[in-house]
Amino acid sequence: MSQPVVADDPPRLALPASPHALPVPALLAALDVSEADGLPDDEVIARRGRFGPNTIAARRAATALGLLLRQFAGPVVYLLGVAAALAFSFGELEQGSAILAVLAINGAIGFTTELKAARSIEALRALGGHAARVRREGHVRLVPAEELVPGDVVLLDAGDAVSADLRLIEGSQLAADESTLTGESVPVGKQTRPVPREARLGDRASMLFKGTSVTRGSGAGVVVATGLATELGRITRLSLGARAGSSPLERKLARLSAQLVWATLAVALAIGALGLARGQDPLLMIESAIALAVAAIPEGLPIVATLALARGMWRMARQNALIERLSAVETLGATTVILTDKTGTLTENRMTVRRLVTPSGEVEVATGAHGRAGHAEAVARLAGDHQPNLLLRVAVLCNDASLDHAGHRASGDPMEIALLRAGHHAGLKRRELLAERPLVRKHAFDAAARMMATVHESGDGFLVAVKGAPEAVLAAATRVIADHGDVALDEHARGEWLTHAGRLGLHGLRVLACAMKVQTAPDGAPYEGLVLIGLVGMEDPARADVPQAIRDCHRAGIRVVMVTGDHAVTARAIGRAVGLAGDAAEVVEGKAIAGVLANPAALRDVAIFARVSPTEKLALVRACQEAGEVVAMTGDGVNDAPALRQADIGVAMGLRGTDVAREAAAMILLDDAFPTIVKAIRQGRIIFGNIRRFVAYLLSCNLSEVMVVGVAVLWALPLPLLPLQILYLNLVTDVFPAFALAMGEGEVGILARPPRDPREPVLGRAQWLTIVAQGVVLAAGTFAALAATRWLGLDARRSVTVTFLTLAFAQLWHAFDMRDVRTGAFVNEVTRNLWLWAALVLCTLLLAAPPYLAPAAELLHLAPLTGSMWAAVLACSLAPLVATQAVMVIAARRLGKRDGG
């Protein structure tokens, strides 16, 4: 046995690249550690200095300052800031202060909503610490897990969490739950023998990995990797390296804002240059440029978009979906493919007895429409059937798990718990059975023999109950039970039983065989001369609500693809149960995934990927994105984290999800229900439709203001609208009616439509043409009011008051033009929106009051209105609404005739 290295010579230590493939003596020599004594304290200190603490840093919490600064980034804010600076430089303190006030209000509301979302997600980030038992200097010590170093000898028992990557050097009936790391739904047996160097992660039986847990047995392992060097750490590095970019909506709104800024600058420069060329006052041109900038930019766009998304977040929170970033709701609305994990997402993550095979026949224990209660009833009906009852009786006796008297709380191996629950439903409670047949001896599961046995007192003899792998039990059995006693088990019958076991396996079931014998002494060989009783088929069943959710996804034009680390047979069985694939569906395993990823057409045809590693999951997400898909990735395990972060939106499970998965996700399902994703998709589509509606409203209103100011400058007319009036108008109409439009409940059949093209802009060509036409109509109504003031002989201040209020009220009525052209003019999704009616009442008060309030009238350069002035305002503001609605009615009739033809 090698001697430990000295503390001042760390370069001598080189961690082995493939510890799972090394024999134990060679590994201990490579790590320079004694199995009996462990590391000395000074060497622990030296190695901790070299390799660092055994921790994996969590993502930093969002800071209030960072969220606040984010509200003031973007081209819209920058342009308005320049406009405010120009106003201050020319002594227009009121205008400059007003612009800054609007920016402050927008920033405050956006900051408040995003801070609430950030703090909600951080409430779930509770990363707990663990302790580990190690041998150091010949003594067993309990040390914090973060203090482990490569070479430490760690002792483990059932129930312990594994705190570092370990190479097993001792083991007794050891098994570990690696479902969060590999996707394997049942515990994996472990042993100390080396495995091939090229073995995949789930096949490295000589290793225990950080983030997993021991479910059975005991043992010891030497630490071969800590912190970010562990498999868990490597996945974390993948997650941190995966792109977590902005959502499609964020990119589209940013692109739209940038386009508006450049268009505004171009128009302002063109009109200013033209005005200067015509010899107009330079100061007037600067003021006009500021007015154009204020008019063209929809100041309410950021705030209404934020509030609309926040509204979506609050709705989703009531439906058990927690959103980390507000825009994540919309992203789900654009989703074209969902890559979903299997264990705990499509399945219950709870093993259940599904089939019993005895010589008298095969019994299927189907859950049916009654869920777990239906399963209990199905098993209870077997209580009077002798052979299935005996099969369950032996399975309950030969068991290491525990189940409370009510049959709810359990601990131990999931497969053994499933056997206890099936027995409990059949009236076979282990405690009562043990009272009848006391336990005398237990032969723990032997990885080599692949069986376990328990010995019980039974009358004048002893009953040996055995369960294990079908091949092993059948090899040890010489007889099989019959209706009366038992009969010989010949090679032909043994082959038939093996065929039965293979058939169950093809259906994705985990199969155990049970046998028994009666002997005169308790210490006889347990695995000789057995009497076969039958086979038990178990599965982690599909969640009852998943098939309908997947049908809803297909109806919405969204592909659902299973991506799991489990075996292909199991994956196909679950895929068939939830409606992902038929009996002949192709299942691609991880080793063949590279060929599929290179062919986009083949990628679209695959519904199930099995035995997939974290790296391959990440590659799959990227391949889908490169093919133009908007990808939602669901998962709950450590192995899902990189793909969750890379996906356009990562969806983690809140109940079963690991901390690492929740860290990487953009949305967390608090109830772990797959149908909640469908609700989120519907909500996302509603959000995008509402955003498109209020953006069109904002831009048509602001375009009308640009036209009014621009035409007035070009025709050398007095400005019908002053910069401060435009700012006030935008603060009113850009927020309240627009936000009311964003509160719409959406259309009933919105999920019956296919996903929109991810490249589709917020506003397409048709929307832009409509916006321009509606802006022209609103501007025309304003100039009609200006003409009316000339006819009425009003002075400049009263004329500006009439034109200002005409355009203001025309914009309010314009909200009714945001209905779908196919809906009725009087009863539609807009007129049913109570929020809109409340916004119109509020805005009417905010617009009608300032002319009669001296301070407000002086600030906005308004004058009190006479009856004739109000008549002009109402007539000229209602005219655009009447004209637009008339055009929409004609268009609807033409569409109806075309659809009918």
Catalytic annotation, residues: 341
Where are the alpha helices (H) located in 764-795, listed in sequence order?
765-792
661 in Cβ contact with 644 (< 8 Å) = yes
315 in Cβ contact with 307 (< 8 Å) = no
How is residue 458 written in tokens? 């039974």
Amino acid at position 578, single letter: V
The pairing of strands 477-481 and 486-488 is antiparallel
Residue 311, CA atoms < 13 Å, CB-side half-sphere: 21
CA–CA separation, 538 and 815 (whole Å)? 60
Which among 523, 410, 535 has a CA at the least distance from the CA of 471? 535
CA–CA separation, 378 and 368 (whole Å)? 9
Strands (E), 520-614: 530-539, 559-563, 587-589, 608-610
777 in Cβ contact with 703 (< 8 Å) = no
CA–CA separation, 731 and 365 (whole Å)? 65
205 in Cβ contact with 190 (< 8 Å) = yes
Report the Cα–Cα distance between both ends of the chain, in Å, rounded: 91
How is residue 23 written in tokens? 């024999």
Which among 267, 295, 92, 83 has a CA at the least distance from the CA of 782? 295
Place of tokens 């990227």: 622
CA–CA separation, 314 and 689 (whole Å)? 18
Amino acid at position 782, single letter: T
744 in Cβ contact with 682 (< 8 Å) = no
Residue 210, CA atoms < 13 Å, CB-side half-sphere: 31
Question: What is residue 132's three-state secondary structure?
Answer: strand
Strand-pairing partners, residue 220, are: 155, 170
The pairing of strands 559-563 and 337-340 is parallel
807-826 residues labelled b (16+ CB within 10 A) or e (exposed) = bbbbbbbbbbbbbeeebeee
CA–CA separation, 300 and 730 (whole Å)? 7
**Phi and psi torsions of 641, nearest 5°:** -55, -50
- Its sign, for the CA torsion 688, 692, 698, 703, is positive
SS3 letters for 377-434?
Answer: HHHHHHHHCHHHHHHHHHHHHCCCCEECCCCCCEECCHHHHHHHHHHHHCCCCHHHHH
312-322 residues labelled b (16+ CB within 10 A) or e (exposed) = bbebbeeebbb
Which among 811, 779, 639 has a CA at the least distance from the CA of 715? 779
How is residue 637 written in tokens? 């395990």
Contacts of residue 258, Cβ cutoff 8 Å, sequence gap at least 6: 75
Amino acid at position 395, single letter: A
Strands (E), 451-525: 451-458, 461-468, 477-481, 486-488, 510-519
The pairing of strands 477-481 and 530-539 is parallel
DSSP for residue 545: T
Rg, the chain, Cα only: 36
CA–CA separation, 189 and 173 (whole Å)? 8
CA–CA separation, 355 and 466 (whole Å)? 18
